A and B are shown apart, each in its own frame.
Chain A
Amino acid sequence: MGAAIQFQINTGSAEPIYRQLMDQLRRRVAAGQWLAGQELPSVRELALLLAVNPMTISKAYGLLELEGLLERRRGLPMVIAAGHAGPARARDRIGQLEPTLQRAAAEARELGIPKPQALALFERLLDATPTGAPR
């Protein structure tokens, strides 16, 4: 059994809500917290729970289905697709971190922070996090 499937959204961000939902699901599945076969809330349930336009939820679910992360079953709730039975391979998980680091890299360049200092900072942050991923 994986962890309960729950979503959170932040308003006021530059990240559209459907993107936030997709990113959360991708991360939880990659980390092995939400597992193949787990049922998702229906579009209706999630729209009412989050007080969000149902089209936004449908859009996120539809795109995740195209990515192969979700499976649609006739007349039944969607599930996390087969093949996501545990944590993703390290390479895939690193791939998910890349966009965040790309943004960090862009900001480091804008701020004119030299590479060694930026790397040292990242290293320090990794060490400081008590619940960091296994290294």
Chain B
Amino acid sequence: MTPSLSLPPSNAGLVLSAAGALPDAAPSIEIEGLQLAYAGRPVLQGLDWRLQPGQVVGLLGRNGAGKTSLLEALLGLRDTQAGSVRLFGQPATQLDNAARSRIGYVPQASDLFEELRADELLAYFRSFYPCWNAAKVEGLMERWAVPRDIEIGRMSGGQQQRLSIIRALAHEPDLLVLDEPVASLDPLARRDFLRELVGQVLERSTTVVFSTHILSDLERVAFNVAFLKAGRIALQAPLDELLESTRLIVCGDVQTVAQIDAVPGLQVLGHQHGRSLVRFPNGGLAEAGLPATLMAQRASLEDLFELLT
């Protein structure tokens, strides 16, 4: 995108700074003030989120936090009450065909046509996409041993999931949205899928949003993690940075709470079951400024999940 003269200065500045980092790049995903409720029960509450091209982001949240709703809304598959979602700079609900063909999606529940066989399904989808990579499809069908001659409805959950992944990768998408893509895969198949994902990122700098409860997978491939809590993205940061800049403090008594409050500049990011997660702003190393009596400990991704979701 080139900045146009008719843009107000504030917008022009944004465009210019984005262009400085990566030429030709509207954010892959840009969500502002998104609100979504089911029968009056709020799920997303003014959610803002932005993903730059090439980012691989792990989306973390508890069961029922609204991860699937968020992923569906960002693909324009759900009616929302307020806010906006833009993909590659276009409104998600009015994507043109070119933008649509840049997206790959692996839904949580299989949405494949159950009465078709795998070959029929792939031939059907192939007709919609100009850049269908038949060689890649053949390779993956072979490697992942997806049966071609039985109806999809009669395949195992794992086989259906593999086929769904193959379908999502077949047209070389620039944005991949993965909603629990590996839940029915065995550990070896999961590792192989992760390799495929890494290959995709290496070859095409694909933007990836990856929701899963298998934290070890996320740790490998997600450079950034985003925590969905109370209908908003409570925090998004590079995982390395979070692991290094945060500390856990067992905080069962009023004294410790007072001690934490007394440390200048210390942020409390979360508190659960008598443990607090703290960090100095600017990602500064936590140790130096923390009194030894607080017995701060390093946190793992699982700790972060517990305290931030």
Contact = CB atoms under 8 A, between A and B. Distances in A.
Contacts of A12: 215-216, 219, 300-302
B215 A14 contact: no
B266 interface: no
A11 B221 CA distance: 11
A52 B221 contact: yes
A11 B195 contact: no
Given A11-B220, A50-B220, A56 B240 contact: yes
A13 B216 CA distance: 10
A35 to B, nearest CB: 29
Contact of A47 (B198, B292, B299, B301): B198
Nearest to A49: B195
A52 B223 CA distance: 9
Instruction: Give chain A's interface residue range (CB within 8 Å of chain B).
Output: 20 to 34
Contacts of B292: 109
A55 B223 contact: yes
A47 B221 CA distance: 9
Interface string B187-219: 000010011001101100000000000011001
A45 to B, nearest CB: 10
Interface string A20-43: 000000000000000000000000
A48 interface: yes
Q: How large is the interface on B (under 10, 10 to 19, 20 to 34, 35 or more residues)?
A: 20 to 34
Interface of A is mostly: helix
B299 A53 contact: no
Contacts of A110: 295
A52 B198 CA distance: 7
A17 B198 CA distance: 15
Interface string B291-309: 0100101111111000000
Nearest to A103: B298
Given A51-B195, A53-B223, A110-B295, A14 B300 contact: yes
A4 B232 CA distance: 47
Contacts of A77: none
Contacts of A115: none
A53 to B, nearest CB: 5
B239 interface: yes
B56 interface: yes
Contact of B201 (A11, A14, A18, A53): A53
A16 B243 contact: yes
Interface string B115-144: 000000000000000000000000000000
A64 B216 CA distance: 25
A48 B199 contact: yes
B222 interface: yes
Nearest to B194: A51
A61 B194 CA distance: 21
A18 B240 contact: yes
A11 B216 contact: yes
Contacts of B180: none
B244 interface: yes
Contacts of A13: 300
Contact of A53 (B56, B243, B303): B56
A53 B198 contact: yes
A123 interface: no
Contacts of A55: 223
Contacts of A53: 56, 198, 201, 220-223
A48 B298 CA distance: 28
A54 interface: yes
9 contacts: A9-B220, A12-B219, A15-B298, A19-B240, A47-B202, A51-B195, A52-B220, A54-B202, A56-B223
Interface of A: 9, 11-19, 44, 47-48, 50-56, 59, 109-110
Closest 4 CB pairs of A and B: A14-B298, A11-B216, A51-B194, A16-B240
Given A15-B298, A17-B240, A48-B199, 13 more contacts: A11-B301, A12-B300, A16-B240, A17-B220, A47-B198, A47-B202, A50-B220, A51-B195, A52-B221, A53-B56, A53-B198, A53-B222, A110-B295
